[in-house]
Chains A and B, each alone.
Chain A
Amino acid sequence: MISSALCSPFNLTGLILCPIAGVILAGLIPEDRVRFVYRIGLCTSLFTFLCSLLFWIRFHASTADFQAVEAIRWLPDSDAYIVIGIDGLSLFFVVLTTFLIPTCFLVGWSSIPQRKEYTIVLLVSESILIAVFCMLDLLLFYVFFESVLIPLFLLIGIWGSRERKIKAAYQFFLYTLLGSVFMLLAILIIFSHTGTTDVPILLTIEYGERRQLLLWMSFFASFSGKVPMVPVHIWLPEAHVEAPTAGSVILAGILLKLGTYGLLRFNISMCPVATLYFTPLIYGLTLIAIVYTSLTTLRQIDLKRNIAYSSVAHMNLATLGMFSLNIEGIEGSLYLMLSHGLVSSALFLCVAGLYDRCKTRLLTYYGGLVRTMPILSAFFLFFTLANMSLPGTSSFIGEFLVFVGVFARNHSIAGMGGVGIMIIGAAYSLWLYTRVACGQLKPQTLGRCTDVQRREAFIYLPFIAGVIWMGVYPDVYLECLHASLTTVVQQGAFELPRSEDVGPC
């Protein structure tokens, strides 16, 4: 099985190595012809995207097994293999990653200094991110989970916009690292007790209750920083605001998904007893986060910070849905993550379009955008509506499924979450839009601005197509998720306590 997989031309190793090939090509370009380097980056990432689509096409939706599995021996004496493979949980994250990276090249086509380094950093982070989602080995998952810090640290620190960027880069790095070392300890404990770090094997092992609680907390310490849950979410607005546009797109689109992906893959699948035990904790934290960050969003005056806080709210809603522990909830939460990857990345792109022209992100300088930039305002409106989950867009399907799942578990929590995200979310989204686009034109900032160019407009089109497609015909995505999620829920035997909860209140 392994050898035949390695022989086929388009396998996962090839997908991971694709951007690396681009890195090598870009590295070989001499200094005086550096103009060319951007095309290489774009072409490589587009090619990677096409390759990843191939995996989607060839994906068997009927099975929960890992597909396209490859194994390469890594450590000699301890059965540590580099095992990669995808299943329903990870397939779309891989596709999302490869979808977003070409956008990162397109958005900074003319305005980025030090292009060679920029291309290399972007492609390296793409390769690492694909590897994280494919990796079926706990230790190597950790390795790639952490190693994405290096390119992103450099990305924020070097190409960030202001002096605060250094603080932001530090915060980003240290918050994530501090959480993850607990995961490292958990991995070491697992490794020294079972002798393997192979995820499919580890999923079949049942730990004792105390150990599950310990492992769960260690993993949670790491993933909660990435999600981000409420006490450790401070790094996110800082990092988002200071990062360059590509950095924000990667952060919001992919990096936040690492946390929720990890929660689903490791906390829920590997420690079901501890998951049930800690569910109230998650509910409490996510509810606080949803309401608190939604309210915080209302009083932000920085455009990027606004979107960053609304990302926190949406990711916490996804976590809430995930811990409803039934199929609808988890499917909804995965769907919400995918949709958020599209919507908030697109919103960051809109803000980048504004920032490139006016060189400010403060809301007070904006107003009457529709008069000078009608096309950008239209795109902005569309994605703002998608962000507040208008029916017909992808977020609606995600949020709807999440609330179906959470209602089945607990009415009052679902109600509070719904109030938080639906009402306050609509409030901040609409208020933000009206303050930017409607009202008096402010000639000192927007007076001389021209509307989006053709290249910029083309960037938004795939996002719009994706949002609408996911919104009107979700079945394409859901059928790929279904088998894997069913297995997760059945393995954890989460369905048992549900019958007690549901019933005439």
Chain B
Amino acid sequence: MLDRAELLGLFPEILLWDTTLILLVLGMMVARTPARPAAPFVRTVAWLGLHCVLLAIVLVGVGIPITINSIHDILLTDSFTHCCDIFLLVGTAGTIMLIVDHGGRDTLRAFETIVLILLSTSGMLVLISASDLLIMFIAMELQTLCFYVLAASKRDSECSTEAGLKYFLLGAFSSGLFLFGCSMVYGSTGVTNFEELGILALTRSWGVPDPSTGIPIIGILCIVVGFLFKITAVPFHMWAPDVYEGSLTLVTAFFSIAPKIAIFANMVRVLNHCFHDHDWQSLLFFASIGSMILGTVAAMAQQKVKRFVVYSSIGHVGYLCIGFAGGTTMEGIQSLLIGLLIYLFMTVNVFGLFCAVRPVRSQYLGDLGVFGKLHPLFAITFSLTMFSYAGIPPLAGFCSKFYLFFGAIRCGADVLAGLGVVTSVISCFYYLRLVKLMYFDLPGEYMIPPRLDRDNSIVLAITVACITLMFLYTSPLFLVTHYMAMGLFAESGVGFSGSVA
């Protein structure tokens, strides 16, 4: 039986599940009534879903972040998961807010989209607090299954169908690899719980030829590769551009925000908490280098809006992976979390802008012209976000890059810091190109400036305020992430050794 505290810890998940069911039933009933034959019910469902997510944020927020092991130790709630939950829910709320207004438009007829988003969010909540290989895999599958459906949700578009198929095949493949890794670990240790694996890893040495005495490296590498697939790090990024381009813009927004948070949180938990030796580190090292270089070089040649965003997000995943290069140091994890949060703000902002211009026509970057003249607020918002992506100082993107490079230098990964600095200079070139398109170029044909609806404007205003003003008062961000990293290391009892300079 669950006791009171465990039940309290699971409250947000329970809320999301219940809302999902209620909305599903409600949607089915209302959408099929003969009285309102063709009324798309999406707007209402999205609105309700948004409030459910906001309520979940409040629930997580007011809960005291005590360490709870619930349901026979397969879920672990502590300060780290607590804050990650909030990040994730904020990201989801931001994405749904972008969707609300699209309910009335022709693009999104099926209210199931919202239901699926809520369902996958609950899966990601479980993923963040997973403390067992099995529950981790199940949560990840719940999330990705929802994503397969979401990617293929626009049935009359060939691109969307193709995206769904590609995503499904490669996602299933990576899940298979991941599961293989899990079973290797289980087979050689007989344990699936993170806590126990961590203890095992402390007592046994790695890479012992006899597989029965230690955790096999192959198993861990398979798990890491599975993770790299999910976060679209470089050698395993092939699916991302096609999938992101094919899906609906709103779905793409959700893809590139929410799962990154959940999977990075889970990666930190698994890699630093239970496999806290450094065999996996070289793999992430190379993934980081590869992602930075490929993200930078490939984004330079893009003409389409969404492909551009994908490659730039691949580059940012590379920067975030620098945080792992520090291994078990506090700075590494802290910089990763800071980078993740700032990435969240910037990406929500960019997709808010793209959703706003979407109905007009926004497939190509060249279409972004005129906004400098016709919609100056839009243009300045977009430019600030681009400067922030490029890491130009007073903006938030600089805070994240600076601290990531600082973490890298602190732990001796000078190569990563140097390469990151160089690639971020090169990346300035194409971020500036967008600013140039916006302001300096005169387009051949004029199009109607976008209508920014109310919810979208709120999201944009909040994120732009965060991006521009963050450097004035960074203390809360640094304190929260510091607290999270502390919470992560408090149980495992390792990690402080590395942080001493």
Contacts and interface: CB of A to CB of B under 8 A. Distances in A.
Interface of A: 73-77, 117, 128, 139, 142-147, 149-150, 153-154, 157-158, 165-166, 169-170, 173-174, 177-178, 181, 184-185, 188-189, 191-193, 195
A76 B482 contact: yes
24 contacts: A73-B475, A75-B474, A76-B478, A76-B479, A77-B479, A117-B380, A143-B398, A145-B393, A146-B392, A149-B392, A150-B392, A153-B435, A166-B440, A169-B436, A170-B432, A174-B428, A177-B425, A177-B428, A181-B425, A185-B409, A185-B421, A188-B417, A192-B410, A193-B501
A78 B127 CA distance: 32
Contacts of A188: 402, 405-406, 409, 417
A253 to B, nearest CB: 22
Contact of A75 (B392, B424, B425, B478): B478
A158 B442 CA distance: 12
A158 B475 contact: no
B439 interface: yes
A185 B417 contact: yes
Contact of B376 (A117, A139, A185): A117
Contacts of A181: 421-422, 424-425
Contacts of A144: 393-394
A265 B332 CA distance: 32
A189 B412 CA distance: 10
Interface string B397-432: 010001001100110000001100110110011001
A188 B414 CA distance: 10
B36 to A, nearest CB: 42
A157 B428 contact: no
Contacts of A166: 436, 440
Contacts of B394: 128, 143-144, 147, 150
A173 B432 contact: yes
Contact of A76 (B380, B422, B475): B475
B471 interface: yes
B371 interface: no
A165 B440 contact: yes
Contact of A143 (B393, B422, B425): B393
B428 A173 contact: yes
A185 B416 CA distance: 11
A149 B417 CA distance: 23
B482 A189 contact: no
Nearest to B424: A181
B376 A147 contact: no
Given A166-B436, A170-B432, 6 more contacts: A76-B478, A143-B471, A144-B394, A157-B440, A170-B436, A185-B418
B473 to A, nearest CB: 8
A145 B393 CA distance: 9
B379 to A, nearest CB: 10
Nearest to B473: A74
A128 B395 CA distance: 13
B378 interface: no
Contacts of A191: 406
Contacts of B501: 192-193, 195
Contacts of A73: 475
B392 A158 contact: no
Interface of B: 372, 376, 380, 383, 387, 392-394, 398, 402, 405-406, 409-410, 417-418, 421-422, 424-425, 428-429, 432, 435-436, 439-440, 471, 474-475, 478-479, 482, 501
Contact of A77 (B383, B429, B478): B478
Contacts of A174: 425, 428-429
Nearest to A191: B406
Contacts of A77: 478-479, 482
A177 B432 CA distance: 12
Contacts of B387: 150
Contacts of B372: 158
A153 B394 CA distance: 15
A170 B428 CA distance: 10
Contacts of B398: 143, 146
B432 A142 contact: no
A262 to B, nearest CB: 15
A158 B422 contact: no
A158 B418 contact: no
B315 to A, nearest CB: 16
A177 B421 CA distance: 10
A146 B390 CA distance: 12
A368 to B, nearest CB: 37
Contacts of A143: 393-394, 398, 471
B482 A184 contact: no
A148 B380 CA distance: 16
B366 to A, nearest CB: 15
A149 B402 CA distance: 17
B416 to A, nearest CB: 12
B432 A153 contact: yes
Nearest to A31: B376
A128 B482 CA distance: 30
Nearest to A78: B478
A157 B436 contact: yes
A196 to B, nearest CB: 13
A274 B290 CA distance: 36
A158 B393 contact: no
B154 to A, nearest CB: 37
A184 B399 CA distance: 12
Given A73-B475, A173-B432, A157 B439 contact: yes
B475 A184 contact: no
A137 to B, nearest CB: 12
Nearest to B334: A77
A202 to B, nearest CB: 16
B409 A189 contact: yes
A5 B120 CA distance: 53
A74 B475 contact: yes
6 smallest CB-CB distances across A and B, nearest first, come from A147-B394, A146-B393, A143-B393, A147-B393, A181-B421, A76-B475
A87 B372 CA distance: 41
Nearest to A157: B440
A149 B435 CA distance: 13
Contacts of B380: 117
Contacts of B432: 153, 170, 173
B118 to A, nearest CB: 36
Q: Residue among B383, B387, B393, B475 with the most chain A CB within 10 A? A: B393
Contacts of A195: 501
B64 to A, nearest CB: 22
A150 B440 CA distance: 14
